[in-house]
């Protein structure tokens, strides 16, 4: 009988302590520690197992490798985020809020990879429920095996029986190992189970895809302790009220983290969206004030997004600010800049901002569109839907250059825009005559304001 030892783990960040603590010294949260019993042999045992496969040191020039063939997922958006397919022997974590579509994405991918044998282990759903979902998705394959199981030791028995080329586990929070007494989903369980799957992936070369739930504030709680163990962390996000879903790589040992994949949730599973701009732009004919189109880039892909604002006199004492899909502090900063530079008393107004489609945009090139949409709503003069914007705003109201402006202009051209506003400092690198679109270069926000509304 292995000796057990009690440890206390912070359930937020996974910090381990031999006594209970009121405040976590790692993440600073209060009251997050809970007791977990760990068998003394477990970690030492698995560590021995991992190190047994380790090799001897070599000179770096002498190390040879063959270009490992990636496994194509037959889903262009998924492959794009992974950097060209699943790397054999890799361990991958797919995180996301409950109900966003993680199980659907991986089951759909599992069904689509018809040229490999695949084992889909679910700790959340029965085989019948998985089958119902598969019927909804409607892809037929004889290479996908499903099993409902929650204990790793038995999962590995199934793996020995099926001998899959890919293993999917849904979700890590429902899986437990007999090595540890604490309940499934606790920090020590998650850490130990992940280590076991990592060991399996590294020794057999079979890639393992793990699903992990994340908490409302967007952190991979629990899975935080997995982040450094796994090779790639993907996040599936979106607004549940809209159909769009975005797949992002937060960490990727085998590819870039700049690429995103875009999907639309439909009645029959997830549909890939290769051309996001065309449906992100609401097809408005009549021109309404407060809307402006931003030419943003996500990874290597241009995304044209409509920004909508509403500026109105504050009815109650304190003006309200609300931003959907845009950082609130950045909005406050832009409002302060507009107040100072364009002389509007925005401090006494309610300002509501909405990024169409429920998307969250990280590209700073959206700034100018946000500022112009606010100005448009404030003066109640519409901006033509054939105009778009690509520039960042500085604190003194200067319109700053953005990366890869040429690509944005080319895409604006392709989508049929007539005019694009960019920073004057982007002009130098440009061959303006190449484009059949009017390029308006401005250096301060007042110039943009005068050009649009004067």
Between strands 244-252 and 301-313, the pairing is: unpaired
Does 267 bind ligand TYD (CB under 6 A)? Our answer is yes
* Residue of 90, 45, 336, 285 lying closest to 201 (CA atoms): 90
Distance CA(44)–CA(228), nearest Å, equals 19
- Of 14, 269, 397, 401, which lies in the binding site for ligand TYD, with binding defined by CB under 6 A? 269
CB of 211 to ligand TYD, least distance (A): 7
Nearer to ligand TYD, 80 or 245 (CB): 245
Binding segment toward ligand TYD, per CB under 6 A, in 58-66, 98-106, 199-207, 247-255: 98-106
Smallest gap from residue 101 Cβ to Mg ion (A): 8
Contact 307, 293 (CB under 8 A): yes
Q: CA–CA separation, 161 vs 163, rounded Å?
A: 6
122-135 in b/e form (b: 16+ CB < 10 A) is bbbbeeeebeebbe
In the list Mg ion, ligand TYD, none, the entry touching 269 (Cβ below 5 to 8 angstroms by class) is ligand TYD
Residue number, 104 or 426, with CB nearest to Mg ion: 104
CB of 269 to ligand TYD, least distance (A): 4
Decide which of ligand TYD, Mg ion, none touches 136; Cβ closer than 5 to 8 Å per partner kind.
Answer: ligand TYD
Q: How far is the CB of 126 from ligand TYD (least distance, A)?
A: 14
**Per CB under 6 A, does 265 bind ligand TYD?**
yes
Minimum CB distance to ligand TYD smaller for 137 or for 333: 137
Kindly tell me which of 235 and 308 has the beta carbon lying closer to ligand TYD. 235
Of 103, 129, 137, which Cα lies nearest the Cα of 209? 103
Secondary structure (3-state) at 79: helix
How far is 357 from 245, CA to CA, in rounded Å? 10
Residue 136 contacts ligand TYD per CB under 6 A: yes
Q: Does 42 bind Mg ion (CB under 5 A)?
A: no
Taking the CA atoms of residue 343, residue 346, residue 352 and residue 353 in that order, the dihedral angle to the nearest 10 degrees is 30
| Options 32, 103, 174, 189; binder of Mg ion; rule CB under 5 A | 103
Count of residues near ligand TYD by CB under 6 A: 15
Nearer to Mg ion, 171 or 354 (CB): 171
CA dist 395 to 330, 353, 399, 400, 442, Å?
Answer: 11, 20, 10, 10, 16
Structure tokens at 435: 């484009």
Nearer to ligand TYD, 103 or 376 (CB): 103
Q: Which of 349, 316, 313, 343 is nearest to 331 (CA)?
A: 349
- Of the candidates 98, 205, 218, 347, which one interacts with ligand TYD according to CB under 6 A? 98
Least distance in Å: CB of 140 to ligand TYD? 15
If the CB atoms of residues 238 and 397 are measured against ligand TYD, the closer one turns out to be 238
Q: Could you tell which of Mg ion, ligand TYD, none binds residue 176, using a CB distance below 5 to 8 A set by kind?
A: none
The binder of ligand TYD chosen from 103, 176, 235, 289 (CB under 6 A) = 103
Least distance from ligand TYD to the Cβ atom of residue 94, Å = 9
C-beta separation of 291 from 385 below 8 A? yes
Closest C-alpha among 191, 130, 121 to residue 151: 121
Q: How many CB atoms lie within 10 A of CB 292?
A: 30
> Which CB atom, from 92 or from 265, has the smaller least distance to ligand TYD?
265
Cα–Cα distance, 35 to 17 (Å, whole number):
10
CA-CA distances (angstroms) from residue 262 to 113, 217, 245, 324? 19, 22, 6, 19
Binding partner of 188, given Mg ion, ligand TYD, none, CB within 5-8 angstroms per partner class:
none
Range list of H helices, 83-118: 102-112
271 lies in the binding site for ligand TYD (CB under 6 A): no
Where does this chain touch ligand TYD (CB under 6 A) — which range of 199-207, 266-274, 295-303, 320-328? 266-274
Q: Which does 416 bind (CB under 5 to 8 A by kind): Mg ion, ligand TYD, none?
A: none
Is residue 101 close enough to count as binding ligand TYD by CB under 6 A? yes
Residue 202 engages ligand TYD in binding (rule: CB under 6 A)? no
- Which of 95-103, 247-255, 318-326, 395-403 is the region at the interface with Mg ion (rule: CB under 5 A)? 95-103
Which of 14, 85, 96, 382 is close enough to bind ligand TYD by CB under 6 A?
A: 96
Q: Give the CA angle between residues 338, 344, 349 to the nearest 5°.
A: 95
CA distance 257 to 253: 9
Half-sphere exposure of 248 (CA within 13 A, CB side): 14
By the criterion CB under 5 A, which residues form the site for Mg ion?
Answer: 103
By the criterion CB under 6 A, which residues form the site for ligand TYD?
Answer: 96, 98-104, 133, 136-137, 265, 267-269
């Amino acid at each position: 009988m292995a000796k057990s030892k009690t440890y206390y783990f912070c359930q937020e960040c996974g910090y381990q302590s031999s006594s209970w603590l009121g405040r976590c010294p790692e993440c600073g949260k209060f009251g997050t520690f809970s007791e977990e019993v760990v068998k003394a042999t477990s970690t030492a045992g698995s560590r021995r197992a991992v190190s047994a496969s380790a090799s001897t040191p070599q000179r770096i020039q002498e190390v040879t490798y063959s270009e490992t063939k990636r496994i194509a997922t037959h889903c262009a958006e998924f492959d794009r985020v992974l950097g060209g397919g699943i790397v054999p022997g890799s361990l991958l974590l797919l995180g996301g809020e409950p109900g966003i579509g993680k199980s659907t994405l991986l089951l759909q991918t599992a069904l689509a990879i018809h040229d490999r044998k695949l084992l889909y282990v679910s700790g959340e759903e029965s085989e019948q429920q998985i089958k119902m979902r598969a019927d909804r998705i409607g892809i037929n394959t004889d290479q996908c095996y499903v099993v409902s199981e929650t204990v790793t030791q038995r999962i590995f028995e199934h793996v020995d029986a099926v001998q899959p080329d890919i293993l999917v586990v849904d979700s890590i929070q429902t899986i437990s190992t007999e090595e540890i007494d604490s309940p499934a989903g606790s920090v020590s369980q998650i850490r130990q189970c992940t280590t076991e799957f990592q060991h399996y992936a590294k020794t057999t070369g079979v890639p393992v895809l793990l699903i992990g739930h994340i908490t409302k504030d967007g952190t991979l709680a629990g899975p935080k302790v997995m982040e450094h163990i796994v090779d790639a962390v993907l996040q599936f996000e979106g607004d549940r009220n809209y159909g769009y879903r975005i797949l992002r790589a937060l960490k990727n040992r085998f590819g870039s983290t700049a690429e995103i994949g875009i999907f639309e949730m439909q009645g029959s599973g997830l549909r890939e969206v290769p051309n996001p701009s065309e449906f992100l732009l609401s097809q408005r004919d009549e021109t309404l004030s407060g809307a402006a189109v931003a030419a943003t880039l996500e990874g290597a892909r241009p995304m044209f997004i409509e920004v909508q604002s509403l500026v109105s006199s504050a009815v109650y004492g304190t003006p309200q600010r609300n931003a959907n899909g845009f950082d609130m502090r950045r909005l406050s900063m832009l409002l302060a800049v507009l107040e100072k530079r364009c002389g509007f008393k925005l401090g006494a107004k309610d300002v509501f901002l909405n990024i169409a489609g429920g998307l969250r945009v990280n590209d700073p090139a959206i700034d100018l569109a946000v500022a112009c949409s606010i100005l448009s709503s404030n003066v109640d003069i519409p901006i033509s839907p054939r105009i778009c914007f690509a520039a960042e705003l500085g604190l003194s109201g200067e319109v700053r250059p953005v990366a890869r402006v040429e690509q944005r202009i080319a895409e604006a051209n392709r989508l049929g825009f007539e005019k694009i506003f960019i920073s004057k400092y982007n002009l130098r690198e440009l061959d303006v005559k190449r484009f059949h679109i009017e390029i308006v270069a401005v250096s301060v926000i007042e110039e943009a304001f005068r050009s649009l509304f004067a």
